Chains A and B, each alone.
Chain A
Amino acid sequence: MAAKTKKKIQPKFKQITVMVFISLFQLLSAACVLYRGEEMSVVLTLIFMGYMVLEWLYMMIGIIATGTDYFELEAMAFFLCGIGITLCASYGESYALKQIVAVLMGLAVYLVMQAVLKNIDFCQKIRLPVAVLSILILIANLILAGTTNGTLNWIDLGFFSIQPSEIVKIAFVFVGAVTLEYLISNTSLTRYIIFSVACIGLLFLMQDFGTALIFFFTFILIAFMRSGDVRTIALICTAALLGAVLIIYFKPYVASRFQAYGRVWDYADTSGYQQVRTLVYMASGGLLGLGIGEGRLRNVYASSTDLVFGVVCEEMGLIVGLCVLICFVGFALFAVITVRQSGSSFYAIAATAAAGMLLFQLSLNIFGITDILPLTGVTLPFVSRGGSSMICSWGLLAYIRAAGVMFRPPEAIASIPVSRPVRKAPAGRMPNGDIPVAKRQGR
């Protein structure tokens, strides 16, 4: 018992240390931005200070409220958001201001989502409205959207423009996980398939192929999590591939969007413009980077959104770039470990789908801009500038966090998972004196 108590103290100490390191990194990069100009910007100083206060407040309140300090997910997300804010600040005050508001909104969504996810019954009730609302949002998007960079995925609200497909991503995981958790009849599965096809179809109509692909991948992942049937998955993929071939055959403009893939240097001034420059400037940064604001990739279109990984590598160095990637691998591994200890397949499916979605989107982003995959124009979660993307990223993170909460399955009705999470397991024993069934290991 004594040994277990000791184990519980150790990570607390480590967690604070990690935060101290993240803060040091953020102070250093903030200093780089602030001391670049002739005059130090008061607004930017306040934004940086405010962000760091926010991080520490969240951690401290979290530790006090839950009695634990298992905040590695949040720490990684804060690290990523910090890089995003720093880069936004180096572009200008208005970008930084919008970005910190986006982080605040993301964090709010994150907390609300966690509260919602605690109550599976409630989730079950709102499943249908969420699905219907998602479809309606996408239809509205298709009708209202103005064309931006060839895709129709933005709605301009005048003061603010939103990307509805980002918000629908959260709903897509939600609907999928809830439906399949309560999969009783074939009807509910059919409904889910109809919902998925509708979402992906609408995204295709918006010509947002990147997001459509992310949805499709998530659909496959959720389907596999539920069925485990590799043959069915293979069948779906083959059907999708056939569909893709047909689309390319009948709508050649779709293929022309990807003509530069694999030979971007031949299209260096046209459709390979962004990829070629990303490669050139990523290499230019070396391992250590040229300094924040000293890069040239920032002058290329969409540098603060789609190409942000290239900017990170050029200005902060490949080492920081790799740290960004490691954070996402961390999310995925965190999901794997916690899902294996969670007591409900709802949380298991949701966390896996969310982590998979994040990692898949990251892959489309960084491999797209470096010509390893076709360029689809998706953002880098948490880091890219933009409110919708930020909200979506935090929303997805909430699913992973929810699975990380320990559950105590009721002995009587074992088939229905319990909805009450127990955050704290004092001295390895439940309040009623039982030894918890699913104990977090390594803590």
Chain B
Amino acid sequence: MRDTLKRTTALIVLVALFTAGVVYLLFSLAVHGSDWASNRINQHLYSNGTTTNSGAIYDRNGALLVSSEDGKRVYNSSRKVRVSTLHTVGDTSGFISTGTQSLYRKLLSGYNVLEGVYGIINRPAETSSVTLNIDSEACCVAYDAFGDYNGTIVVYNYKNGELVCSISKPSYDVNDVPSNLLTSKYYDGVFLDKAVSGVYTPGSVIKIITAISALQNIPGIESQTFDCDGEYEIGSGAVICNSVHYEETFEEAFNKSCNFAFADITLQLGASKLLETANSLGFNKQLYAGEVALKKSTFSPSDSDKLELGWAGIGQSTTLLNPSHLLSIVGAIANGGTGYAPNRIHSYSTFYGQYSPAANQLITLDGGIAAKMRALMRSNVVNKYGDDNFPNLEFCAKTGTAQLDDADSHSWLAGFSSRSDLPLAVVCIVENGGWGSGPATEVTNEVMQYFLDVYTNS
């Protein structure tokens, strides 16, 4: 009998095991609760995969971009704001995976340990909100500036990484989704935010990388001269220049974007040095701007085919460049070598309090090289593109043309204002804008003029 009683210890062991199981369950809830609650099968927050209850998103000036009312997502009342901020804000169905609604859905689900998703169902805007660094008015200006063209423009403050403008075209109105969205060729890739998920053949903007590598690796490059006869012969082939530039310095070659000179510099550098520079500037690497994964920029120069190497150095080979990545490189040049990632989020407000994430640094460049590149890019505007095209901006830039086999070329511009009261850098791509940098220059200037007005009149 006494033994039998002692053996009730078995029950105590069972209670202990049970308690351990419950503790494990509570631990799992604490760790994974927000993942579970924000899952798309949760009918408190989603209906057939589309968002119903979620937090509010504001722009930097407090304009409401989207919030939930009575279990429905309600967007800004202006069609233009909805269209121009679509890719940054994201759509209700979550097709735009890099949109804030999708990317920060866990946070916007408003889940907290105390009340689960009760708050987000009953008082969504107070429970969870995200304030973006984006200026929705600037996005509208940029969207208009593109006219009928497609493409992307990203503008950010290179001092702190705040992404103040980002658009991706084509776009559409979430309140009036076009019936041919999934079938029309025009809307091909419409769910991709080209600023973060797009990569393009860089054209001459790659000469920024080649120039940096030359400054790093070729002593006396700034005093070298080149004699451009319009064609740089390599083996049996040749790199064709856009013109015949005759004798020119390194700076002049950069101003004129001389293919002859840059093919020569590329061969002087060799593939490994060029690759080393490119890799140090974030090529061939998965980069993140905060939580946003940037499509990888790829650059793979090879010594085995000198002609191909020559083309690579002027940006017409297999190289692919992501706009937001280039923005960080330009930002590093503008900011004395420290290149921040474009930071979309100004602040989050949740049950647990308010939080402002700082921009992460993507690019590190030697201060001396940055200063030289800054001077070279300023020289481009002064001596080649003309300050008239960028009035009052004290602009520094490098343009490019990405030649396509079967369509009009893409027009590139990467630059920044050197005014201390306008610390903004910009990357703009106008798709099929044709030869030359004209369309990108115009779009960039319109957007930058808007910001000049905002920054100097406030």
Residues of A within 8 A of B (CB): 221, 224-226, 228, 268, 276-277, 279-291, 296, 299, 314, 318, 322, 325, 328-329, 332-333, 335-336, 339-340, 344-345, 348-349, 352, 355-356, 359-360, 362-363, 366-367, 370, 372
Contacts and interface: CB of A to CB of B under 8 A. Distances in A.
B21 A283 contact: no
B111 interface: yes
B22 interface: yes
B42 A284 contact: yes
Contacts of B116: 283-290, 314
Contact of A284 (B1, B11, B17, B37): B37
B406 interface: no
Given A226-B4, A336-B12, A288 B37 contact: no
B115 A370 contact: no
B11 A318 contact: no
Contacts of B14: 332, 356, 359-360
A329 B3 CA distance: 23
B15 A333 contact: yes
Contacts of B29: 282-283, 318
A190 to B, nearest CB: 21
Contacts of B34: 283
B37 A283 contact: yes
Interface in B5-36: 5-8, 10-12, 14-15, 17-19, 21-22, 24-26, 28-29, 32-34, 36
A355 B9 CA distance: 12
Nearest to A221: B10
Given A280-B39, A286-B115, A372-B21, 15 more contacts: A225-B10, A228-B7, A279-B36, A283-B36, A283-B111, A284-B116, A286-B113, A296-B43, A314-B116, A329-B15, A332-B14, A336-B8, A356-B10, A359-B15, A366-B22
B113 A372 contact: no
Contacts of B6: 228
A335 B118 contact: no
A390 B37 CA distance: 32
A290 B25 contact: no
Contacts of A291: 118
Interface string B197-224: 0000000000000000000000000000
A356 B121 CA distance: 41
B44 interface: yes
Contact of A280 (B3, B36, B113): B36
B18 A362 contact: yes
Given A284-B42, A286-B112, A367-B25, A335 B1 contact: no
Interface residues of B, number: 41
B114 interface: yes
Contacts of A339: 5, 8
Interface of B: 1, 3-8, 10-12, 14-15, 17-19, 21-22, 24-26, 28-29, 32-34, 36-37, 39, 41-44, 111-118, 121
A369 B10 CA distance: 25
B8 A352 contact: yes
Contacts of A322: 22
Given A286-B115, A290-B121, A352 B10 contact: yes
Among A276, A286, A340, A349, the one with the most B-chain Cβ atoms within 10 Å of its Cβ is A286
A225 B11 CA distance: 10
Given A296-B44, A325-B22, A360-B14, A288 B115 contact: yes
B27 to A, nearest CB: 11
B33 to A, nearest CB: 4
A352 B9 CA distance: 10
B122 to A, nearest CB: 9
A288 B114 contact: yes
Nearest to A318: B29
B25 A224 contact: no
Given A286-B115, A336-B12, A340-B8, A280 B42 contact: yes
Contacts of A332: 11, 14-15
Nearest to A290: B118
Contacts of A281: 42, 44
A325 B26 CA distance: 12
B42 A287 contact: no
Contacts of B24: 372
Nearest to A269: B41
Given A268-B41, A296-B44, A336 B112 contact: no
A302 to B, nearest CB: 17
Given A280-B36, A288-B118, A290-B117, A335 B10 contact: no
The 4 closest A-B pairs by CB, nearest first: A286-B116, A283-B36, A283-B33, A283-B37
B5 A348 contact: yes
Nearest to A349: B4
A364 to B, nearest CB: 11
Contact of B19 (A228, A289, A329): A329
